[in-house]
Chain A
Amino acid sequence: MAIKKFIVGSFDDEKVLFPAVKKVRKAGYKIHDVYTPFPIHGLDTAMGLRDTSLHTAGFIYGITGTTTALTFMSWVFNKDWPLNIGGKPHFPLPAFIPITFELTVLFSAVGMVLTFCYLCQLAPFVKKHHFHARATDDLFVMVLEVTGKTNEEETKAFLAAAGAKEINVQVAEADWWLGRYDKEEKLFANG
Chain B
Amino acid sequence: MSFREQFEIPAKYKMWSMILMAIGIVSVLVGYFMYGTGDEHQNSRFWGTLLYNSVFFMLVVNASMFFICATTMAMGGFQMAFRRVTEAISTAVVPLGIISGVILLTLVLGHKHHIYHWLTPGNDKILLGKSGFLNANFFIIWTILSIGGWIFLGAKMRAISKEIDNREALSVEEGKAYIFKNTIWASLFLVWFGLTVMSTVPWLWLMSLDAHWYSTMYSWYTFASTFVAGMSLITLFVIYLKNQGYLELVNHEHLHDLGKFMFAFSVFWTYLWFSQYMLIWYANIPEETVYFKHRVQGPYRGIFFLNLIVNFIAPLLILMRRSSKRNYTLLVFMAALIICGHWLDFYQMVIATLSKEHVELNFFDFGVAAGFVGLIMWSTGNALTKRSLIAKNHPFFKESIIHHT
Q: Which residues of A contact B (CB under 8 A)?
A: 41-42, 51, 55, 59, 86-87, 94-95, 97-98
Q: Do the beta carbons of A42 and B404 come within 8 Å of each other? A: yes
Which of chain B's residues has its CB closest to A62's CB?
A: B320
B263 to chain A, nearest CB (A): 13
7 A-B pairs closest in CB distance: A41-B404, A94-B278, A94-B281, A42-B404, A97-B274, A95-B282, A94-B277
Contact of B284 among A51, A59, A86, A97 (CB under 8 A): A86
Q: Do the beta carbons of B322 and A97 come within 8 Å of each other? A: no
Which of chain A's residues has its CB closest to B320's CB?
A: A59
Additional A-B contacts beyond A51-B322, A95-B282 (15; CB < 8 A): A41-B404, A42-B404, A55-B322, A59-B320, A86-B284, A87-B284, A94-B274, A94-B277, A94-B278, A94-B281, A94-B282, A95-B278, A97-B274, A97-B278, A98-B278
B257 to chain A, nearest CB (A): 14
Residues of chain B lying within 8 A (CB to CB) of residue A51? 322
B104 to chain A, nearest CB (A): 34
User: A38 CA to B404 CA in the complex, in Å?
Assistant: 15
User: A51 CA to B322 CA in the complex, in Å?
Assistant: 10
Residues of chain B lying within 8 A (CB to CB) of residue A95? 278, 282
Can you give 9 A-B contacts (C-beta < 8 A)?
A: A59-B320, A94-B274, A94-B277, A94-B278, A94-B281, A94-B282, A97-B274, A97-B278, A98-B278
Residues of chain A lying within 8 A (CB to CB) of residue B278? 94-95, 97-98
Residues of chain B lying within 8 A (CB to CB) of residue A94? 274, 277-278, 281-282
User: A41 CA to B278 CA in the complex, in Å?
Assistant: 43
User: A85 CA to B322 CA in the complex, in Å?
Assistant: 42
Residues of chain B lying within 8 A (CB to CB) of residue A87? 284
> How many B residues, CB 8 Å from partner?
9
Give the tally of cross-chain contacts (CB within 8 A): 17
Which of chain A's residues has its CB closest to B405's CB?
A: A41
Question: How would residues 378 to 404 of chain B score, 1 for a CB under 8 Å from any chain A CB and 0 otherwise?
Answer: 000000000000000000000000001
A67 to chain B, nearest CB (A): 16
B254 to chain A, nearest CB (A): 14
B275 to chain A, nearest CB (A): 9
User: A97 CA to B276 CA in the complex, in Å?
Assistant: 13
User: A97 CA to B282 CA in the complex, in Å?
Assistant: 12
Residues of chain A lying within 8 A (CB to CB) of residue B404? 41-42
Which of chain A's residues has its CB closest to B403's CB?
A: A41
User: A41 CA to B78 CA in the complex, in Å?
Assistant: 15
A183 to chain B, nearest CB (A): 40
Interfacial residues of chain B within 270-314, with CB under 8 A of chain A in the complex: 274, 277-278, 281-282, 284
Which of chain B's residues has its CB closest to A51's CB?
A: B322
Residues of chain B lying within 8 A (CB to CB) of residue A98? 278
Which of chain B's residues has its CB closest to A55's CB?
A: B322
Residues of chain B lying within 8 A (CB to CB) of residue A86? 284
Residues of chain A lying within 8 A (CB to CB) of residue B322? 51, 55
B280 to chain A, nearest CB (A): 10
Which of chain B's residues has its CB closest to A86's CB?
A: B284
A111 to chain B, nearest CB (A): 16
Question: How would residues 317 to 349 of chain B score, 1 for a CB under 8 Å from any chain A CB and 0 otherwise?
Answer: 000101000000000000000000000000000
User: A87 CA to B281 CA in the complex, in Å?
Assistant: 12
User: A60 CA to B274 CA in the complex, in Å?
Assistant: 24
B252 to chain A, nearest CB (A): 13
User: A94 CA to B282 CA in the complex, in Å?
Assistant: 8
User: A94 CA to B283 CA in the complex, in Å?
Assistant: 12
Which of chain B's residues has its CB closest to A95's CB?
A: B282
Residues of chain A lying within 8 A (CB to CB) of residue B277? 94
Which of chain B's residues has its CB closest to A56's CB?
A: B321
Residues of chain B lying within 8 A (CB to CB) of residue A42? 404
User: A98 CA to B282 CA in the complex, in Å?
Assistant: 13
Residues of chain B lying within 8 A (CB to CB) of residue A41? 404
A139 to chain B, nearest CB (A): 23
Residues of chain B lying within 8 A (CB to CB) of residue A55? 322
Residues of chain A lying within 8 A (CB to CB) of residue B282? 94-95
B80 to chain A, nearest CB (A): 17
Residues of chain A lying within 8 A (CB to CB) of residue B320? 59
User: A42 CA to B281 CA in the complex, in Å?
Assistant: 49
Interfacial residues of chain B within 182-212, with CB under 8 A of chain A in the complex: none
B277 to chain A, nearest CB (A): 7
Residues of chain B lying within 8 A (CB to CB) of residue A97? 274, 278
User: A41 CA to B282 CA in the complex, in Å?
Assistant: 48
**Most interface-central of A42, A94, A97, A98 (chain B CB within 10 A):** A94
B276 to chain A, nearest CB (A): 11
